[in-house]
Structure 1
Amino acid sequence: MGVQQMLARLISQPSISSASPDWDHSNEAVIQTLAEWLEPMGFAVETLPVPGMPGKYNLVATLGQGPGGLVLSGHTDTVPFDESRWQSDPFTLTERDDRWYGLGTCDMKGFFALAIEAASAFLDTPLQQPLIILATADEESSMNGARALAEAGHPRGRYAVIGEPTGLKPVRMHKGIMMERLVFEGQSGHSSDPSLGRNALEGMHAAIGGLLELRDQWQAQYSNPNFRVQVPTMNLGCIHGGDNPNRICANCELHFDLRPLPGMDMDALRQSILDRVSPEAERRELGLRFEPLFDGVPPFETDADAELVRVCERLTGHSAEAVAFATEAPWLQKLGMETLVMGPGHIDQAHQPDEYLDLSQVKPAVDILSRLIQHFCVDSPAVDPKPPSP
């Protein structure tokens, strides 16, 4: 089965992940399809349910044996879509204008077809280190698939390439993302007498000033010239409070996001925020809740002189870059692997109507993945059986 046929089948199987139950799908069909292809090739296939998420699965497929090896990783889920904005069926692979159109073509079901095509050339080649194909669940919503793998300490490899769409340019760092909820709870009362209540909206006004001061401090303290936006960012996204102009506001809620740079710790950032807003709540006798809207994705960085970075730069002819979007890289890195993001397609084609994979990317992608397998699995000597420290 060729790349086009594999991709057509993967595209035809809905695997949307979403915080909205109306959109959320199981990814079991995609996982079963990958297992159906990989097992006859000689891969040892493990299908791992994601704890606490019925219908969600990770897959770890291993060719060869040993503690080291190369991991080619991708997520099996896609984002929701608006069919009225598509020129063709999102679940049917459609070729036109030297492109393959379909939901997940570049983000990122196409990577699995290309990785399997590259791996097929090595089935009769003795591997010094194993080749692992990793497929995860729910990257587009919760990242719980990759998080579960990291918590389980699985898989074990030495090098990991995540095939997110980067135009086949290596990416060795990205910012993190945090989405937070801040709630002040006061007491309503008639607006003619402020002593009758405790105004949550006024408390939030003061807290927002504190948040913006924190942002200024972080941006003065942290900067990384590898990023187009070189400083950490904070966006005040939405606010809700009160119900009437002549009633003292009893409840006010703010949602905001932060994009920390590599080297910034998310727990420390949250503690700084809490330290800044808590005194204001106490002074005004307001109840305070501060919590993540989701667990967040840590910032990621692999050293510029890491072997994986140097090999991918040599194979592609591009220096490793930094990107603003988040990936599963921090969790694979937590397992002790040198990790890099690199795959076909471009991020501006992802999450869009008429998502596509340019055919000009297909052969180069297979060639680069084949060379990575050759370097890390065939030419590299067997490694010490002691697993890498997470």
Structure 2
Amino acid sequence: MSKLPSLISMMSQLIAVPSISCSQASWDQSNKGVILLLEDWLSSLGFQCEIMPLPEQPNKFNLIATLGQGAGGLVLSGHTDTVPYDEDRWTSNPFTLQERDNRLYGLGTCDMKGFFAIVIDTLRDMDLSKLQQPLIILATADEESSMEGARALVDAGRPKGRYALIGEPTSLTPIHAHKGIMMEKIRITGQAGHSSNPNLGNNALDAMHSVLSELMQYRQHLKDTYRDANFVIDYPTMNFGCIHGGDSPNRICGRCELEFDLRALPGMNNQALLEDITALLPKIERNTGTKIQLNELFPSVPSFSTKKESDIIQACERLTNKPADTVAFATEGGYLNQLGMETLILGPGSIDQAHQPNEFMGLDQIKPMQHVINGLVKRYCVTSNENEAASV
């Protein structure tokens, strides 16, 4: 496989191609360059590569690269986009891979372009002609903003695999669950007027006080009703992040907006939660004479959960010598769950470096991650029955 560059060269090339996704159009970029690099390298290993443009964003792409046939097998998944960066806070060029202090620095080294380079470098040294179940490399778009890449895969019902690993940075700790996340906006429109006479208007701030009271009671209800001891914060949370309203102390507030998030435990349904909140609002509208609108800031992300007793969790606990845990951040895991795969989150690098200036991956993370990939490919793709691979 002489066409394949070295691991460091692959990582350098991936880092050098900007692929920022962001809700702000001034930052948002295509990920096509990263997808084409991965397609080239995986094709040289014999993978059949399919590039899928996103239905609503034709300049964004998913890649499904498949080697082997069958209904089972393993998916190794990651996202190709990065977050924006603060240029003045980086000590080196974010798009130039730099090695120093036994670390590899660059935007996307751990979150998560480096994972793809490690996967491909691992597969280079394996006899892939022995596959008895398919091996699928999945590269998605827009995970850092809309998660439209993962949503498009669910809509298409692909890829199909029995097991999946998402290589997000977990310091090589197997992750079996995380909470979902919803981000919502409530806008209240009242009637402005002179503050000397309350009868001249309808105060949106007064109405927002009622909304907040109802939401706080609902938040307490969620805390009292739902618990999951697998999480450090073992209940669903609702955070009132920002509020804006009015323009002058001598005017009745004509408009007020609240933005908040809700992080639900596995097993809770985001849509049902949204319906509960929606049902709280009409009574306040009637009592205050205001108009109240509830809108999503972006589509909600489902929670993720795979049973600790599942085969892939137990296999990765043995491969890493670490017990499975939970995390606070969200991933595409819930979408792969929806596709019917036993999924876990496990990858090189730390989430503490993700989204930070001078993002890096420690060199000591590479070989242990390759050990995990090698073990999983052998277990789920080379061995026809995972029970025959109990020593993994």
Q: Tell me, in whole angstroms, the C-alpha distance in 2 between the residues paired with 1:264 and 1:38.
A: 38
- Secondary structure at the counterpart of residue 228 of structure 2: coil
Structure 2 partner of 1:323: 327
Distance 2:364 2:381 in 1: 27
TM-score (norm 1): 0.96
2:275 is the counterpart of 1:271: yes
Could you say which residue in structure 2 is the equivalent of 1:385?
A: none
- TM-score for both structures, normalised by structure 2: 0.96
Contact 1:128 1:381 in 2 (8 A): no
Matched, 1:185 2:189: yes
CA distance in 2 between partners of 1:54 and 1:331 (Å):
21
* Residue of 1, 5, 12 corresponding to 2:9: 5
Q: Does 1:59 align with 2:63?
A: yes
Letter in 2 for 1:191: S
SS of corresponding position for 1:295: strand
| Equivalent residue in structure 2 for 1:228, among 215, 228, 232 | 232
Matched, 1:171 2:167: no
Structure 1 position 119, deviation (Å): 1.7
Residue deviations 1:84-122, cap 9 Å, x none? 111111001100000000000000001001111122233
1:281 Cα offset (Å): 1.4
> How big is the alpha-carbon RMSD for the aligned residues of Structure 1 and Structure 2?
1.1
CA distance in structure 2 between the aligned counterparts of 1:45 and 1:274, rounded to whole angstroms: 44
| Offset of residue 277 of structure 1 | 2.6
User: Hey, what's the Cα distance between the residues in 2 that align with 1:310 and 1:39?
Assistant: 31
Task: State yes or no: 1:313 paired with 2:317.
Answer: yes
Aligned counterpart in structure 1 of residue 206 of structure 2, from 196, 202, 216: 202
The whole-number CA distance in structure 2 between the counterparts of 1:105 and 1:380 is: 34
Shift of 1:169: 0.8
What is the alpha-carbon distance in structure 1 between the residues aligned to residue 295 and residue 192 of structure 2?
A: 24
The answer to whether the 8 A contact 1:17-1:79 is kept is yes
Conserved 8 A contact 2:319-2:371: no
Which residue is 1:129 aligned to? 133
Is 1:244 the counterpart of 2:248 in the alignment? yes
Q: Provide the C-alpha distance between the structure 1 equivalents of 2:282 and 2:170, rounded to a whole number of angstroms.
A: 41
303-312 vs 55-64, which moves further = 303-312
Q: State the Cα distance separating 1:123 from its structure 2 match.
A: 4.3
CA contact (8 A) 1:129 1:381 kept: no
Show the counterpart of 1:349: 353
Match of 2:212, SS state, is helix
Match of 2:81 among 68, 71, 77: 77
> What one-letter code is carried by the residue in structure 1 that aligns with 2:219?
R
Q: Deviations over 1:323-346 (max 9, x none)?
A: 000000011110110010000001
Cα distance between partner residues in 2 of 1:244 and 1:72: 55
Could you tell me which amino acid in structure 1 is paired with residue 288 of structure 2? R
SS in 2 for 1:59: strand
Q: In the alignment, is the contact (CA less than 8 A) between 2:320 and 2:368 conserved in 1?
A: no
* AA in 1 matched with 2:26: D
Q: Does 1:292 align with 2:296?
A: yes
Structure 1 equivalent of residue 44 of structure 2: 40
Q: Aligned letter for 2:149?
A: G
1:361-372 mapped onto 2 (5 Å cutoff): 361-372=365-376
Secondary structure at the aligned position of 2:300 is classed as: coil
Query: What residue is the counterpart of 1:105 in the other structure?
Result: 109
Give the aligned partner of residue 336 of structure 2.
Answer: 332
Q: Which ranges of structure 2 fall in alignment gaps of 5 or more residues?
A: 387-392
User: 1:68 Cα deviation (Å)?
Assistant: 1.2
Q: Is the 8 A contact 2:230 2:326 kept in 1?
A: yes
The AA in structure 1 aligned to 2:203 is N
Q: Name the CA distance, whole Å, in 2 between partners of 1:124 and 1:275.
A: 55
Question: CA–CA distance in 2 between the matches of 1:124 and 1:150?
Answer: 28
The superposition leaves residues 161-194 of structure 1 with CA deviations (integer Å, 9 ceiling, x where unpaired) of: 0000001110000011110000111111221211
CA distance in 1, matches of 2:290, 2:100: 59
Q: Residues of 1 paired with 2:285 and 2:324: CA distance? A: 45
Question: Does the 8 A contact of 1:186 with 1:199 survive in 2?
Answer: yes
Tell me how far apart the structure 2 counterparts of residues 375 and 214 of structure 1 sit (CA, whole Å). 46
Q: Secondary structure at the match of 1:151?
A: helix
In 1: Cα distance, 2:281 partner to 2:142 partner: 33
| Aligned-partner SS, 1:154 | coil
Number of equivalences? 382
Q: Distance in 1 between matches of 2:87 and 2:199?
A: 54
* Residue in 1 that maps onto 2:266: 262
Task: Tell me by how many angstroms 1:197 deviates.
Answer: 1.0
Aligned 8 A contact 1:237 1:256 in 2: yes
Q: Following TM superposition, by how much is the alpha carbon of 1:124 offset from its aligned partner in structure 2, in angstroms?
A: 4.3
* Correspondence 1:141 to 2:145: yes
TM superposition shift of 1:125: 3.0
SS of aligned partner of 1:146: helix
